[in-house]
Amino acid sequence: MTTSAQCDFTFPLSRRGDVLPEEADLLRDKHPVAKVRTLTGDEAWLVSSYALAKQVLEDERFSLKDTANPGVPRQYALTIPPEVVNNMGNINSAGLRNAVMKTLSPRADKELGGWLEAEAHRLIDRLVDQGPPADLRDGFTEPYSAALHCRLLGIPTDDWRRLMSGIDLAFVTSPAVFEGSTPNWYKDLGYMLDRLRADPAPTEGLLGRFAELRRSPDVLEQDGLDQVGSGQVSDDLLATVALSLFGAGAVSTSAFLLHAIIALVQQPELAERLRREPAVIGRAVDELLRYNLSIGDALPRLALADVQVGEVLVRQGELVLVLIEGANYDPEVFPHPEKIDFDRETNPHLAFGAGQHFCPASALGRTHAEIALQALVERLPALRLALPVEQLAWRPGFIKRLPERLPLLW
Ligand code: HEM
């Protein structure tokens, strides 16, 4: 048992999203719970095997909410208001869970599949009109993901660019708080407040539900929600929920789609299989989720008690970082993890996390990617990188590994 291993690694690992950082395998094999130094200079335990990652994520003595406390060790500076870290906790305690979960459920919106398909084809039509090469991030993944989130919230699609540029700043990972972070957040929060209070009031999406709630707080009860927050939910909280869902969702879906496209265009036989056997798309997306390296940092948790994790006794108050790529490439669970295999018998990957904070929109994230990827492989069968993969420019200092541009030919 040890509590004082040397800080041998600095974290985060490489920003490149096309190759597994070499430290990931080394850490998992030799030091599955390793002491690392983070961007802020704090110490943390980096957990990189599947079994231990799952243990930490499923044990509520490892808290996400408490990572926002003042004075605790950090992965990077907190550049969003601390209460936003406990997003789902706030949603639950305000009695808004059902309204939010309904918004995030692809099954609750019968027209969603057809709408996503039309949106994907509209964007591909535009790419085809303009001709190759084209940047699929600007021309496809971002507008497609953002449009979905505008629909979910019930805000005009034309506003997507201003919201996406707010995210670019909100999710910067920095050793220290920077000047633009607070005004950036409050500018976008102001936008959501204006939409919520608009006259006429919004009628669509989550903001439509929230507008109804503002008019008659007892809709919480009609929705079958608990009554904890009935009549007491502030506009600020409603706008914060809307903004943080846009942020969490648009950046995650767009980033994953970029990674999935990069993987498919490098292995055309996989895209060919999807054209021949469209029924494989569900399993294919799950495997691409396992394989993708979009989570650029690690999932942070603060230990609320002394807890044994593998060979290390993690002490109360210490920061634990769960390395998702470590878990998802663990050969104990995923034989030949470096291979994209649509036929894996089981695929219990952790791309959506695990435990209490498991992504509440995993079904939506899957549907979004399945429709986009199927449309791309069918419409653009010769899709390929316009430059060597090593030339992709990966964004530094951001919560996701993102290529700044994804220039493709077809
Ligand atoms: C492919 C797409 C997506 C991926 C890979 C993804 C991944 C994740 C992961 C790994 C977590 C766990 C974070 C943690 O444990 O610390 C998470 C949580 C979360 N995700 Fe997603 N996500 C996706 C799509 C979305 C979408 C579309 C939304 C909303 C519109 C969303 C909203 C959230 C929220 C609110 C949480 C916090 C849950 C909590 O704290 O209990 N995600 N997501």
Ligand 1 centre to CA of 360 (Å) is 6
pLDDT tens readout for residues 100-136 = 999 999 999 999 999 999 999 999 999 999 999 999 9
What is the length of the chain? 410
CB of 299 sitting under 6 A from ligand 1? yes
CB of 357 sitting under 6 A from ligand 1? yes
Residue 1: which pLDDT band, with cuts at 50, 70 and 90? very low
CB of 68 sitting under 6 A from ligand 1? no
CB of 89 sitting under 6 A from ligand 1? no
Give nearest CA residue, ligand 1 atom 9.
352
pLDDT tens readout for residues 179-204 = 999 999 999 999 999 999 999 999 99
Q: Please check the confidence at residue 311 and state whether its pLDDT lies above 60.
A: yes
Ligand 1 centre to CA of 6 (Å) is 32
Rounded (10°) CA dihedral 380, 364, 110, 136: -30
| pLDDT, mean of residues 345-364 | 98
pLDDT computed for residue 3 by the predictor: 42
Position 379, amino acid: R
Choosing from 206, 352, 373 the residue with most ligand 1 atoms within 8 A of its CB, the one to mutate for a pocket test is 352
CB of 104 sitting under 6 A from ligand 1? yes
CB of 36 sitting under 6 A from ligand 1? no
Give nearest CA residue, ligand 1 atom 12.
353
| pLDDT, mean of residues 361-384 | 98
Q: Please check the confidence at residue 213 and state whether its pLDDT lies above 60.
A: yes
Ligand 1 centre to CA of 17 (Å) is 19
Give nearest CA residue, ligand 1 atom 25.
249
CB of 353 sitting under 6 A from ligand 1? yes
Give nearest CA residue, ligand 1 atom 26.
249
Ligand 1 centre to CA of 358 (Å) is 7
CB of 87 sitting under 6 A from ligand 1? yes
Please report, for residues 37, 160, 180, the alpha-carbon distance to residue 359 in angstroms, rounded to integers and kept in the order given.
Answer: 27, 23, 28
pLDDT computed for residue 219 by the predictor: 61
CB of 364 sitting under 6 A from ligand 1? yes
| Strand-pair category, 62-63 with 299-303 | antiparallel
| Strand-pair category, 33-37 with 9-10 | parallel
Q: d(Cα 281, Cα 286) in Å, to the nearest integer?
A: 9
Q: Please check the confidence at residue 227 and state whether its pLDDT lies above 50.
A: no
Q: Which one, of 304, 322, 252, 349, lies nearest residue 75 by Cα?
A: 322
In 3-state terms, what secondary structure has residue 202? coil
Tokens 């951001």 found at: 398
* Mean per-residue pLDDT of the chain: 94
Ligand 1 centre to CA of 381 (Å) is 31
Ligand 1 centre to CA of 248 (Å) is 6
pLDDT computed for residue 317 by the predictor: 98
Choosing from 83, 302, 359, 371 the residue with most ligand 1 atoms within 8 A of its CB, the one to mutate for a pocket test is 359
Residue 149 CA: nearest ligand 1 atom is 30
Position 30, amino acid: K
For residue 29, what are the contacts with CB-CB under 8 A and spacing of at least 6? none
For residue 234, report the phi and psi dihedrals to the nearest 5 degrees.
Answer: -80, 155
Q: d(Cα 46, Cα 32) in Å, to the nearest integer?
A: 7
% the chain with pLDDT above 70: 94
| pLDDT, mean of residues 4-10 | 65
Which of 91-100, 284-293, 375-384 is predicted least confidently?
91-100
pLDDT computed for residue 2 by the predictor: 44
pLDDT computed for residue 4 by the predictor: 44
